[in-house]
């Protein structure tokens, strides 16, 4: 069944029986025979084919979705068995939210690769919801998210704390005040991330806790875009300490002095299976004990 799934997925992705055969080192008739047998086992046609194209049927779309999951689980099983008799090595797919993935993870990755040169990590960046879904669908073996997230099918373990500050451009009028009130914050234009983002969730939670309803909000698709917009004087936002270090050092941004800040949230590790390859277990251990953690800073 594993080989039939692999042939089917390859045909779909190559959109051609001959190209799939080249990829799999099989003849085109052998590929065709595999697909016929697989369709007979499933009980329906999965592909519409002509001389010009290969296209999924409605049933084929369902099978393709789950075939990728099954192959992912099968590969993980093989790696677990291999790990039982070998040292830490092989591929590992990591999904990370933007703040951690862009500002902290590269430092950890450099340490991991130096210590374990036989590890071959690949990294996918997305918002916290996207990261959790990648782990849930077996497209990533471990996820790193920010803020709060709940899913009973996932194991979510906090490993570090993040500090977030309200920041403006250096010449923003609010910078003239020694302490800024919540009312003044509510009258400013707030720049926020898209829904599903851990940073967006943290901002909304903070605003709710302080009974703040900003008069204007602008939704922007990345932290970098928000930072650039702040520097132009477009508005204010609450951003992780990790993401604004350079701008603070260059005095392109300044922190507002607001009672109750910095606002704190957790960074968390997300996994699904209780069984982990040595590669995954090693990576998680390095993340938990990294010198780059905020709680390890002096």
The verdict on 197 and 282 lying in the same domain is no
- CA torsion angle 164 101 244 199 (round to 10): -40
The verdict on 176 and 254 lying in the same domain is yes
Residue that the structure tokens 């430092």 belong to: 107
Percentage of the chain beyond pLDDT 70 is 96
The verdict on 106 and 220 lying in the same domain is no
3-state SS, residue 41? helix
Name the H helices within the chain: 2-14, 17-24, 28-42, 58-83, 98-103, 105-115, 128-136, 182-186, 198-209, 223-231, 245-249, 278-288
pLDDT of the residue at 28: 87
Predicted TM-score (pTM) above 0.75:
no
Question: Which residue, 83, 106, 125, sits at the end of a domain?
Answer: 83
pLDDT in tens, 82-127: 666 666 778 899 999 999 999 999 999 999 999 888 888 999 999 9
pLDDT of the residue at 171: 92
Handedness of CA 123, 156, 268, 132 (dihedral sign): positive
Cα distance between residue 281 and residue 275, in whole Å:
9
Cα distance between residue 27 and residue 29, in whole Å:
6
Residues forming beta bridges with residue 161, ordered by sequence position? 266
Inform me whether the pLDDT recorded for 264 exceeds 60: yes
The verdict on 253 and 118 lying in the same domain is no
The verdict on 156 and 272 lying in the same domain is yes
The verdict on 271 and 147 lying in the same domain is yes
The domain that holds 182 is classified in CATH as 3.40.190.10
The verdict on 206 and 286 lying in the same domain is no
pLDDT of the residue at 242: 92
Number of independent structural domains in the chain:
3
The verdict on 107 and 63 lying in the same domain is no
pLDDT in tens, 195-217: 989 999 999 999 999 998 898 99
- CA torsion angle 59 60 62 68 (round to 10): 160
Domain holding 149, by residue range, is 90-160+266-296
pLDDT of the residue at 170: 93
pLDDT in tens, 40-96: 989 999 998 877 778 899 999 999 999 888 888 888 787 777 666 666 778 899 999
Question: Which residue, 45, 65, 83, sits at the end of a domain?
Answer: 83
The verdict on 21 and 78 lying in the same domain is yes
Q: Of 223, 266, 236, 262, which Cα lies nearest the Cα of 127?
A: 223
The verdict on 139 and 186 lying in the same domain is no
Concatenated DSSP letters for 274-297? S---HHHHHHHHHHHT-TTSGGG-
Question: Which residue, 50, 67, 83, sits at the end of a domain?
Answer: 83
pLDDT in tens, 233-255: 999 999 999 999 999 999 999 99
Cα 268 to chain centroid, rounded: 12
pLDDT of the residue at 296: 58
User: What's the length of the chain?
Assistant: 298
Which pLDDT band, with edges at 50, 70 and 90, does 270 fall under? Answer: very high
Torsions phi, psi for 53 (to 5 deg): -155, 160
pLDDT of the residue at 288: 92
285 exposed, middle or buried (CB, 10 Å; 0-12, 13-18, 19+)? exposed
Residue that the structure tokens 């520097």 belong to: 231
The verdict on 75 and 135 lying in the same domain is no
**244 and 253 Cβ atoms separated by less than 8 Å:** yes
**106 and 174 Cβ atoms separated by less than 8 Å:** no
pLDDT of the residue at 217: 93
Handedness of CA 199, 205, 207, 213 (dihedral sign): positive
The verdict on 74 and 123 lying in the same domain is no
Residue that the structure tokens 């609010």 belong to: 174
For 24, the token pair is 């799999």
Residues forming beta bridges with residue 255, ordered by sequence position? 167
Query: What is the average pLDDT value for the chain, to the nearest integer?
Result: 89
Residues forming beta bridges with residue 218, ordered by sequence position? 191
Which pLDDT band, with edges at 50, 70 and 90, does 294 fall under? Answer: low
74 half-sphere exposure, CB direction, 13 A CA radius: 11
pLDDT of the residue at 298: 42
Percentage of the chain beyond pLDDT 90 is 54
Q: How many C-beta atoms lie closer than 10 Å to residue 230's C-beta?
A: 24
pLDDT in tens, 160-192: 999 999 999 999 999 988 899 988 988 999 999
199 exposed, middle or buried (CB, 10 Å; 0-12, 13-18, 19+)? buried
């Amino acid at each position: 069944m594993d080989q039939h799934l692999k042939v089917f997925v390859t045909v779909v992705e190559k959109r051609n029986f001959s190209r799939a055969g080249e990829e799999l080192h099989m003849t085109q008739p052998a590929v065709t025979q595999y697909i016929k047998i697989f369709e007979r086992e499933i009980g329906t046609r999965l592909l519409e084919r002509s001389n010009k194209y290969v296209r999924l049927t409605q049933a084929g779309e369902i099978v393709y979705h789950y075939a990728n999951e099954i192959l992912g689980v099968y590969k993980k099983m093989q790696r677990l068995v291999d790990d039982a008799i070998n040292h830490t090595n092989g591929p590992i797919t990591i999904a990370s939210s933007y703040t951690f993935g862009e500002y902290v993870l590269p430092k950890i990755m450099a340490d991991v690769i130096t210590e374990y040169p036989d590890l071959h990590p690949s990294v996918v960046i997305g918002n916290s919801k996207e990261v959790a879904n990648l782990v849930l669908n077996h497209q990533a073996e471990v996820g790193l998210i920010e803020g709060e997230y709940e899913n009973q099918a996932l194991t979510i373990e906090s490993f570090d704390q993040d500090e977030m500050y309200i920041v403006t451009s250096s010449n923003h009028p609010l910078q003239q005040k020694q302490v800024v009130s919540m009312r003044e914050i509510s009258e400013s234009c707030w720049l926020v991330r898209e829904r599903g983002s851990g940073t967006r969730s943290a901002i909304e939670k903070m605003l709710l806790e302080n009974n703040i309803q900003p008069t204007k909000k602008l939704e922007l698709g990345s932290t970098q875009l928000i930072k650039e917009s702040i520097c132009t004087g477009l508005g204010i936002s609450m951003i992780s300490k990790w993401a604004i270090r350079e701008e603070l050092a260059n005095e392109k941004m300044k922190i507002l002095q607001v009672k109750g800040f910095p606002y704190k949230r957790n960074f968390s590790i997300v996994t699904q299976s209780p069984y982990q390859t040595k590669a995954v277990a090693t990576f998680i251990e390095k993340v938990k004990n990294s010198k780059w953690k905020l709680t390890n800073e002096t």
